[in-house]
Structure 1
């Protein structure tokens, strides 16, 4: 078995988009859980990779994305998850963390063959990223309490799909080891 990597999807967010109000309630519960996963991954030396939307700003880099999120509506949801100097950062433009990003190359370079997916949105970016990881024959763990949703019913269905159809280990974050 290779390396297990923690992926933090779209949590560097200004929360000023159309469905932000629905998402914030779930994100408030999720942020402390992801922060715990982040501490565990860092303590064991597991790779931490942020895969984040650039919100259509094609001139941005990860520092600018973090700055914009910290200046946004909910910096309290961003601060506990800020990337440190060791964190890796992949900018994405669409739902999947794999779609036209350098992530596959980065994962091969790290020897990572198992992904712990955390972040938002369960029924969108997390689900599509899990499918793309599955078709690449990567192991998957989805901590159900470390993914935020907009629609609870769709999120539950997405978690079931990831477990049943993609072989993901869906479990509580406290049961995830790096």
Structure 2
């Protein structure tokens, strides 16, 4: 039985959903201590892909220092199996452009390509030889250090927000989750945009500070953390959540 289902017979339809067991956990967070129900929680992991994080990928190939983008990988490699053991859904939200780019407007195609030199998100000739962030390509694949479980859910996105022009909201509502943990890159760009839309849609949002990274200057991350705490939700660390849940 799924998280969101009816009980049907030939003569009756019971529209009550199956009860979800509660799994509360209280842990240190900012701006205050936080209690969530892991049974109603999912983690959204954003853009930990070769083109963003691999030395042979797109960003490194155009001269971007990717060390900040690589920082969350080891943290999540350790943390995600623990979440799965608690039956917390793992949702990967990654750039996955259509090969024909039919839904990519110019403002997206030319990100990181201000002079229109063909180096942007819409480039068909990335530094690795793989089209930049094209669905199904090596460039768009999740980095090898992070293993995708058969139970995980993958969603392609085409904007800074994972909610625009994607089924992400429908999937999360079908999972019957209220709280979203956020991880991935870039913290101040795609992670923040997706988190902001989630908060605007009514989800409770928690950014995992040690599981996000960015290639932007440090003040961008500082401002992001401040704004998440001030305007949208909470921040914590994987260590705080995991240690205090045990």
Regarding TM over 0.5, the answer is: yes
Match of residue 223 from structure 2: 157
1:63-109 per-position Cα deviation (integer Å, ceiling 9, x unaligned): x24x4456xxxxxx811213221110000000011111101110111
Structure 1 runs of 4+ aligned residues shifted over 3 Å read 18-23, 55-61, 67-70
State which structure, 1 or 2, has the greater radius of gyration over its C-alpha atoms. Answer: 2
Q: 1:19, CA displacement in angstroms? A: 6.3
- Which runs of no fewer than 5 residues in structure 2 stay unpaired? 1-36, 102-133
Match of 2:205 among 127, 140, 145: 140
Match of 1:96 among 131, 153, 161: 161
CA distance 1:131–1:69, shift in 2 (3 Å) = closer
Q: Is 2:40 aligned against 1:3? A: yes
Q: Check conservation: 1:19, 1:150, Cα contact below 8 A.
A: no
Match of residue 42 from structure 1: 84
Paired with 1:114 and 1:58, the residues of 2 have a C-alpha distance of: 35
Q: Which structure has more RCO (C-alpha within 8 Å, separation ≥ 6)?
A: 1
1:7-65 per-position Cα deviation (integer Å, ceiling 9, x unaligned): 1101123343346754521133211112222112111111000000014535965xx24
Match of residue 74 from structure 1: none
Q: 1:126, CA displacement in angstroms? A: 0.8
Q: Is 2:55 aligned against 1:13? A: no
CA distance 1:150–1:85, shift in 2 (3 Å) = same
Larger mean CA deviation between 33-42 and 20-29 belongs to 20-29
Match of 1:52 among 94, 105, 108: 94
TM-score by length of 1: 0.83
**Which has the larger helix fraction?**
1
Match of residue 151 from structure 2: 86
Paired with 1:56 and 1:18, the residues of 2 have a C-alpha distance of: 19
SS at match of 1:112: coil
Taking only aligned residues, the RMSD between alpha carbons, in angstroms, comes to 2.3
- Which runs of no fewer than 5 residues in structure 1 stay unpaired? 71-76
Q: 1:169, CA displacement in angstroms? A: 1.6
Paired with 2:140 and 2:195, the residues of 1 have a C-alpha distance of: 25
TM-score by length of 2: 0.62
SS at match of 2:178: strand
